[in-house]
Chain A
Amino acid sequence: MASHAPRTMIRIASGQGFWGDLLRAPVDQVRRGPIDYLMLDYLAEVTMSILQKQRSRDASQGYARDFVPLMGEILPDCVDRNIRVIANAGGVNIAGCRDAVLDEARNAGLAGKATVGVVTGDDILDRLADLVARGHTLASMETGAPLEQVIDRVQSANAYIGARPIVDGLARGAHVVITGRSTDTALTYAAMIHAFGWRVDDWDRLAAGVVAGHINECGAQCTGGNSLVAWESIPDLEDVGFPIIEAWPDGTFVVTKHAGTGGRVSASIVAEQIVYEMGDPSTYITPDVVADFTTIRLEDAGENRVRVTGIRGRPRTDRLKVSISYHAGYKAVGTLVYSWPDAVKKAREADRILRARLDRLGLAFDEIRTEYIGWNATHGLLAGPPPADLPEVELRVAVRSSSRTAVESFTREVAPLVLTGPPGVTGFAGGRPRVQDIVAYWPALIDRTEIEAGLRVDVTTA
């Protein structure tokens, strides 16, 4: 693919590791040092169904709202310095997100100056019935069951798409490229393909781009956040610098962060992020290439700099992954706090009483789960017996049922334990637990031609 950009090093900054990450991070990435591209990852597996629900209540919604005021703040800098923004902020309403960003751009004085590109075609919710009718079973990758089993309860359906449409948007001059369910890694390596003109079958370089994207996509998790490597010694996490990939045309890159920011970049810390959410490391499948993570070579290359080389890739597969969400019942979580003495003993007795009362009410649940926060909620059986003389423990009881009525009844049975159960109890001031909808996840595969024929890229000037 032809490219008009110079073939030298480019800096790709990560500004958001999930929807709800530090709001200041992308602003700092733009203002506290040099960058060429800013990628923002907003979408997790459950996010699409949340956005679909928001859109069903209000047709103007359904995208990552935080992205819009952020663009109002940084777009003037980005246009001025030619920093390109790539974000999967569009969710299930990509056009709505674009229109809101264009409004912000005009309000910021960028009418006629800022251009916004959108990638559409990943959303296949309206096509599901037709696809199934034409013989696509969309069987669950976890259970092998055909989608027909839950199709009447489906809330969202999106194909994971790769970097090529983003590259198209960049090539057409968009300052901002907004996508829906692009893969997280594509948001980073699309910039490399655009800048370096990598071919669609340049598997090793594309694989290197995927590794760079995997390191970048969780924000500060590769610059010292949530790290088990000497965590107490990591400096200034209150001002943690988010990662920046310095990428070269040959597929090698350096992971770093802006000078003067907190956190730390080391080979050990980057290795921890590389193994995060990993399956078979030799076969990391993306829409554009299969990357082999057992070929990655890491070396410390100066203060807060890690050099990454050696990455190999293999040809892409014929199918794309589809992320489908469907309604799967209701749940609620009730908590109470018990104090010394005999905190765990009291909490256990309260749990016994609660379960007996639910039983007497004739309520059926698919599951009742009890955890004791302060003792076994994270390490389970490995926590061993409760420590003697624990100062306090939080009783946490959760229920799940296909019956909303049963879960509602549960929410009325927790607080009464305060006056009708073991003593030394508090922590009920928040009122009754909330009944939550369960949205389950249905991963499936589909022939890539079904999706690629429907992908579109549109570029609009503010």
Chain B
Amino acid sequence: MAKVRLHALAHGRSGDKGDTVNIGVIARDPAFWPILRDQLTTARVAAHFEGMIRGRVERFELPNLHALNFLLHGALDGGGTVSLMTDAQGKTFSTALLRMELDVPEDIAGPA
């Protein structure tokens, strides 16, 4: 097994709804989808953002797009114009998630 950044396996986009951030994560190749589905658990994502969000994490699967959608509650300091954050709309949470390191088989780590 080898360690790779999620960024090598997936792309995505994030946005806001009130004080909640959504992060959609999409496999760059269908071969990466089982890795995302199995390793990118709610607990793993919650641990990744520990200290940065106040609420719970929800996870939804879109197997048709080889994608997962995460909702991070209490992530935006109140959200909207209440928030004092530079990124009050949560636009950069997608790249923050893509920092995560995953264990993958060598043959997938190689070309990626």
Instruction: Name A's B-contacting residues (CB within 8 A).
Output: 45-46, 142, 221, 226-229, 268, 271-282, 293-298, 310, 328, 331, 333, 367, 369, 371, 373, 377-382, 396, 398-400, 436, 438-441, 443
B residues 82-109 with Cβ under 8 Å of A?
A: 82, 84-87, 92, 94-96, 98-99
Residues of A near B28 (CB, < 8 A) are 229, 268
Residues of B near A310 (CB, < 8 A) are 64
C-alpha spacing A268/B27, complex, angstroms: 9
Q: Are A441 and B18 in contact (CB under 8 A)?
A: yes
Q: Are A228 and B13 in contact (CB under 8 A)?
A: yes
Provide 26 A-B residue pairs closer than 8 Å at the C-beta atoms, listed in order of the A residue: A45-B80, A142-B18, A221-B13, A228-B13, A268-B26, A274-B24, A275-B24, A275-B65, A275-B69, A276-B13, A276-B24, A277-B16, A277-B22, A278-B22, A282-B60, A296-B64, A296-B65, A377-B87, A378-B95, A378-B96, A380-B52, A382-B48, A382-B52, A396-B86, A436-B81, A440-B81
Residues of B near A271 (CB, < 8 A) are 26, 65, 67
C-alpha spacing A100/B27, complex, angstroms: 48
Instruction: Name B's A-contacting residues (CB within 8 A).
Output: 11-13, 15-19, 22, 24-26, 28, 48-52, 60-65, 67, 69, 71, 77-82, 84-87, 92, 94-96, 98-99
Q: Are B13 and A273 in contact (CB under 8 A)?
A: yes
Q: Are B11 and A279 in contact (CB under 8 A)?
A: no
C-alpha spacing A18/B24, complex, angstroms: 21
Which one of B11, B60, B82 contacts A272 once the chains associate, using CB atoms below 8 Å? B11
Q: Are B71 and A400 in contact (CB under 8 A)?
A: no
With most chain B CB atoms within 10 A of its CB, the pick from A142, A310, A396 is A142
C-alpha spacing A446/B55, complex, angstroms: 27
- Across the two chains, which residue of chain A brings its CB closest to B69? A278
From known contacts A268-B11, A275-B12, A396-B86, infer whether A369 and B77 are also in contact, taking CB-CB under 8 Å: yes
Q: Are B24 and A379 in contact (CB under 8 A)?
A: no
Which one of A142, A382, A439, A443 contacts B96 once the chains associate, using CB atoms below 8 Å? A382
Residues of A near B18 (CB, < 8 A) are 142, 441, 443
C-alpha spacing A226/B65, complex, angstroms: 19
C-alpha spacing A45/B19, complex, angstroms: 13
C-alpha spacing A60/B4, complex, angstroms: 57
Residues of A near B22 (CB, < 8 A) are 275-279
> Nearest Cβ in chain B — how far from A446, in angstroms?
18
Q: Are B80 and A272 in contact (CB under 8 A)?
A: no
Q: Are A229 and B24 in contact (CB under 8 A)?
A: no
With most chain B CB atoms within 10 A of its CB, the pick from A278, A294, A443 is A278
- Across the two chains, which residue of chain A brings its CB closest to B24? A275
Q: Are B62 and A293 in contact (CB under 8 A)?
A: yes
Which one of B25, B60, B79, B99 contacts A379 once the chains associate, using CB atoms below 8 Å? B99
C-alpha spacing A119/B17, complex, angstroms: 26
Residues of A near B52 (CB, < 8 A) are 380-382
